[in-house]
Amino acid sequence: MKIRFFQVDAFTRVPFKGNQAGVCLLDSMPEDALLKAIAAENNLAETAFLLPTENGYHLRWFSPKVEMKLCGHATLASAHVLWEAGLVRVHDTIRFDTLSGVLTARQQDGWIELNFPARDHEPATLPAPLQELFKDNYVNVTYSFDRYIVELKSAEAVAGFIPDEKLLKDHLCIITARAGEDAPYDFVSRYFAGPVGVSEDPVTGSAHCSLAPYWSARLHKNEFFAYQASARGGELKVVLQQDRVLLRGEAVTVINGIFTI
């Protein structure tokens, strides 16, 4: 079996920045065991698997450990590959059928725009391992879907945060803060995903599905320019529209090849 494979840096225009995603173009959907093995072999935050359908593409995402229900950067990478490879016309909207329902991607002012579900949040208390990690160095905690949002005191605190993989291994966790007054961004964040095999995800679309409602309630607006302050770093334009979030980002292909299995 031969599978067309691309490695894409998403939420960046610069190679070797943003978040790495594998994109596999399929003629048929293999058994889950093979999909998991390919994702583990890639050892990227996510590998996307795309199968053409009558109305678009069936899209599945796998981390090195598990199948994911939602992934922003690998969806962005998938749309980028489909347009770049000439499989979809540049001005056409792409429809993806996923575990999170129908998602779409389109070109918007030179950026790729994804239409994703917004994720609500509610007040929460940190579990003991995260309380040990953060102590009193935070200003607010909420829980959104499957992850904690921990607001720190400053953007500098987010950038300088030193994670403890042992304390983070059982919980998905976003840390965030308002950007500094001189920064071009509205807020910054980082995301730790030990339970799915990703110690720190460089740039995370799904995290911003939670961060958009969170910061909308605090900043009293619905459009944001966001920065994920990982070592690789990445930028997102984020728009909250009721129960949907528009995620806009850029992407660049760094590997174009074939998986032979």
- Say if residue 187's pLDDT is above 90: yes
CA separation for the pair 60, 65 (Å, rounded) = 14
Among the listed residues 117, 86, 118, 92, the one whose alpha carbon sits nearest the alpha carbon of residue 105: 92
Q: What is the pLDDT of residues 139-173, one digit of tens each?
A: 999 999 999 999 999 999 999 999 999 999 999 99
pLDDT reported for residue 171: 97
Q: What is the pLDDT of residues 22-67, one digit of tens each?
A: 999 999 999 999 999 999 999 999 999 999 999 999 999 999 999 9
pTM: 0.94
Q: What is the pLDDT of residues 202-244, one digit of tens each?
A: 999 999 999 999 999 999 999 999 999 999 999 999 999 999 9
Catalytic residue among 46, 113, 151, 250: 46
E strands within the chain? Answer: 2-10, 19-25, 46-52, 57-62, 67-68, 94-98, 101-108, 111-117, 122-123, 140-144, 147-151, 172-178, 187-193, 198-201, 223-228, 234-241, 244-249, 251-260
pLDDT reported for residue 181: 85
Catalytic residue check, 156: no
